[in-house]
């Protein structure tokens, strides 16, 4: 029997997630799509696809008869809105919440890295699109050689950054930086996001730099390729754009890292691209696709 779920947020991310669940999931059933704009395309599309809708937010959802049977609530709104939504949902101990905003009320979760550590937590946070794409790579290096510093640069098509993304730029950098440390295992993390205005729009590109202790380069390369394969299980368009690159940072020429001081070791550079599945959003919107795919994968593991 499928587990019933609701999505709060009828924008691009919520709508794409809904379509993924309807088309791809063998264990999740869309119960209600929730928004605050009765004229939104997401709510209109949900109605056309036979999904119940609510345009009065979480308060309206709780009043619906469907609420009783819903076990998982996805939040695809904003960091600020999530605080209110969670204040309502946490009163129902039989519900779990998967947060796709940068609010980070609950622990950060990246499915192939730390799902087992958080499977019993009532509210988990999916970090950010850049975090979902790059933290598995930091963790893959850290598995072989202790990572002192992890820096990621996420470049996304300007067209794929809607009002919610643009309103949460500060939260993106702060949340991703912290998750590089807490989930990826780096002593210090830094995140940068670039909105690329190129036409035609470019697919998501991510660059990951790590400075770690010296380690077996082939073992690090193998760990990275294995992690890419794990992510591809739920994001088929996730791939290495070039082969992994290594550089020595010698002890007599260390680099200065704010908060850590001088460090030397092995620099690893990982270049990624993420092509979206094209379910609702264009293929260039891999940044949104990886978020919705990670959220679906998390929910399916929770109910398996």
Question: Catalytic amino acids?
Answer: 129
DSSP state of 203: P
Q: How far apart are CA 48 and CA 56, in angstroms?
A: 19
The length of the chain in residues reads 304
Helix (H) or strand (E) holding 28: strand 28-34
Cα dihedral 229→117→124→86 (10° resolution): 170
Residue-by-residue DSSP string for 130-149: HHHHHHHHHHHHHTTS-EEE
Q: How far apart are CA 134 and CA 274, in angstroms?
A: 11
Q: How far apart are CA 96 and CA 250, in angstroms?
A: 48
DSSP state of 51: -
> In this structure, are residues 125 and 105 in contact, taking their beta carbons and an 8 Å threshold?
yes
Tokens of 182: 């807490």
Helix axes 41-48, 12-24, angle to 10 degrees: 20
């Amino acid at each position: 029997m499928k587990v019933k779920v609701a999505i709060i947020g009828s924008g691009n991310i919520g709508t794409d997630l809904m379509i993924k669940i309807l088309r791809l999931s063998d264990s999740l059933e869309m119960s209600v799509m929730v928004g605050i704009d009765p004229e939104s395309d997401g709510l209109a599309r949900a109605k056309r696809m036979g999904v119940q809708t609510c345009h009065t937010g979480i308060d309206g959802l709780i009043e619906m008869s469907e609420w009783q049977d819903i076990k998982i609530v996805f939040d695809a709104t904003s960091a600020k809105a999530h605080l209110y939504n969670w204040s309502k949902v946490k009163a129902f101990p039989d519900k779990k919440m998967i947060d796709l905003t940068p609010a980070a009320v609950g622990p950060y979760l990246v499915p192939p890295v730390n799902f087992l550590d958080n499977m019993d937590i009532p509210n988990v946070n999916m970090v950010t699109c850049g975090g979902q794409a790059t933290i598995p790579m930091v963790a893959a290096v850290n598995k072989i050689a202790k990572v002192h510093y992890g820096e990621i640069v996420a470049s996304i098509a300007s067209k794929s950054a809607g009002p919610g993304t643009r309103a949460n730029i500060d939260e993106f950098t702060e949340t991703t930086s912290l998750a590089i440390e807490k989930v990826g295992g780096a002593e210090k993390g830094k995140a940068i996001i670039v909105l690329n205005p190129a036409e035609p729009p470019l697919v998501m590109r991510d660059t990951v730099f790590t400075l770690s202790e010296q380690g077996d380069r082939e073992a690090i390369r193998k760990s990275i390729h294995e992690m890419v394969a794990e992510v591809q299980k739920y994001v088929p368009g996730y791939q290495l754009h070039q082969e992994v690159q290594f550089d020595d940072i010698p002890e007599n020429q260390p680099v200065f890292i704010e908060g850590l001081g001088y460090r030397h070791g092995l620099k690893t550079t990982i270049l990624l691209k993420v092509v979206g599945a094209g379910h609702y959003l264009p293929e260039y919107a891999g940044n949104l696709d990886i978020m919705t795919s990670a959220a679906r994968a998390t929910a399916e593991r929770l109910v398996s």
